[in-house]
Amino acid sequence: MKSDLEKGSPSLQSESQFELETTPTSELKDPLPDTKPKSTWQRLISGLKGGGEARGIEPVPLEERQPVTASTSLHMLLMWFSMSLATNNIIVGSMGTFVLGLSFKDAAFCAIFGNLLGVCTVGYVSTWGPISGCRTLIVGRFHMGYYPSKVCCALNVFTNLGYCMVNSVVGGQILSRVSGGQLSVLVGIVIVAGLSWVMAMFGMKIFAVYERFAWLPQLMVLCVMLGSAGPHFDFNIHTEMSQGVLNAKRITFFSLCMSIGLAWAPLAADYYVYYPPHVKRWRTFAVTVLGCGQAMAITILIGIGLGTALASSAEYRAKYGNSPGDLLMMAYDSLGGFGKFCAVINVFALLANNTPGAYSMSMNFQMLGDFFRKVPRPVFVTLSTAIYCGCAMGGRNQLYDVFKSFLPLIGYWVMMFFCIILMEDILFRRRSGYDWSSWNTPQQLPMGIAAGLAFAIGWAGAIVGMDQSYYGGPVAKLAHGADLGTWLGAGFTLVSFPPLRAVELWYIGR
């Protein structure tokens, strides 16, 4: 078997290297306790028609991993393409031109490069799934420590609640518009949340198959949207502003588009835990970046175009500028019944985006402690669905404000989390490797003092650099209102973590 790395790259290992370096105590024999379903609830779930996923946050042992076939990479790519070809990205794209007042060219450049940087973090984090068999934030325990990683679990719960809420509102608004107002937005929200709940209840086995095919109808209706609305895009729109303000808005939109990709990073490894460790790491990275990045770029660019149409036409603003759902219908209204059909397909794209988040969110609840771990995953799926459905009902009229305030906050903490994982792996753990059997043994994991302090210092940087409606940091004010929270948070973390971790290893030894 060929090595997964070129010479000199110790982290991308072949199967034999994985055996020697990352699981020294197990030697590729399953070191994990018996994790087969034992409770009545788990036996019921696993016996349901179609097969539910009864496994919780326990690592997937080698004998339960899927065999690698010629189509494995294609399945991985299509899964990410479906999950990322989401209607909510169109809303984010429209903010660049409609809300921030950027030209099409400025917004497009910011979107493409910001998105690329964001999905590269997703690609890197996703590679840990096959290597470890662990969910993303279980892997985080090996880099941040047992207790600090719980903070990220809680933050990721809020992140996914926010995303699922936004998806539900957009879907509810579309369904209400398609029905001519006969179906209220509230009922539409319940429909979207309910369908997402059904798929998330049964775990990977159901939605992995759904994601393989969901991209095709969605891509087709996006082509219809582009053909219908494209002639109304205003590529010459330009809002007069000073150079300093223009640069600030460019940075803000760049960070906003990067945050869309970053939001997937704390989930990325979750969807690869059933692949064996000898899946080539560079291939996992490549197909993830390719699938995720292409889909996001397509949808964001369409949103930027729709935003120019709204920004340049008072008539369009009067008719379609009330809500994100109305924005999407702008492209379909001239198509009559066929346009309504296309809009409904957009709602199913929201399900493809909503379900993975709801699935991973239930795992994050279980990672908060042994008490939560004993609660069956479907209970948390149901609880989280009820929470974000209720929040969607309450926030359905302020969705642009929610997006503008919510997305940057994701970028702040996820970028700091990513920086710690990257530095811990490259600087401190690359040679010693990982014993994945210690995933739930705090005494064998890093103490987490260095990671906790670096994470807090990173937040201090994010606060002084953030620019939101509720607070503007002093550095952001000096930069004409540019949102620098993500960048200062990452910078403060990168500078503080290595020396703190070195001291922690010197005195504590782990």
Q: What is the tens place of the pLDDT at every residue in 422-465?
A: 999 999 988 888 999 999 999 999 999 999 999 999 999 999 99
Candidates 230, 250, 213, 280; CA nearest to 100 is: 250
Per-residue pLDDT, 269: 93
Who has greater pLDDT, 25 or 393? Answer: 393
Tell me: the pLDDT tens digits for 98-108? Answer: 888 899 999 99
Rounded to two decimals, the pTM is: 0.84
Per-residue pLDDT, 11: 39
On whether the CB atoms of residues 64 and 274 are closer than 8 A, the answer is yes
Per-residue pLDDT, 45: 46
pLDDT above 50 for 19? no
Q: Is 25 helix (H, G, I), strand (E, B) or coil?
A: coil
pLDDT above 80 for 226? yes
Sorted by sequence, the CB contacts under 8 Å of residue 374 that are 6+ apart come out as none
Task: Tell me the CA distances in angstroms from 96 to 100, 159, 309, one per residue in order.
Answer: 5, 22, 12
List beta partners, residue 472: 467
Tell me: the pLDDT tens digits for 405-418? Answer: 777 788 899 999 99
Per-residue pLDDT, 87: 84
pLDDT above 60 for 477? yes
Per-residue pLDDT, 212: 80
CA 416 to chain centre: 15
Tell me: the pLDDT tens digits for 319-374? Answer: 766 666 677 777 887 788 898 899 888 888 888 788 888 888 888 998 988 888 88
Per-residue pLDDT, 54: 59
For 2-26, what is the mean pLDDT? 38
Least reliable range by pLDDT among 21-35, 100-114, 144-158, 175-189: 21-35
Least reliable range by pLDDT among 48-62, 69-83, 121-135, 376-390: 48-62
Q: Which of 192-206, 276-290, 467-481 has the highest mean pLDDT?
A: 276-290
Who has greater pLDDT, 468 or 342? Answer: 342
CATH number of 71-397: 1.10.4160.10
> For the chain, percent helix, then strand, then coil, each to nearest 5?
70, 0, 25
Between CA 257 and CA 502 the distance in angstroms is: 34
On whether the CB atoms of residues 83 and 240 are closer than 8 A, the answer is no
Q: Which of 72-76, 118-122, 203-207, 470-474 has the highest mean pLDDT?
A: 118-122
Who has greater pLDDT, 430 or 497? Answer: 497
Per-residue pLDDT, 69: 87
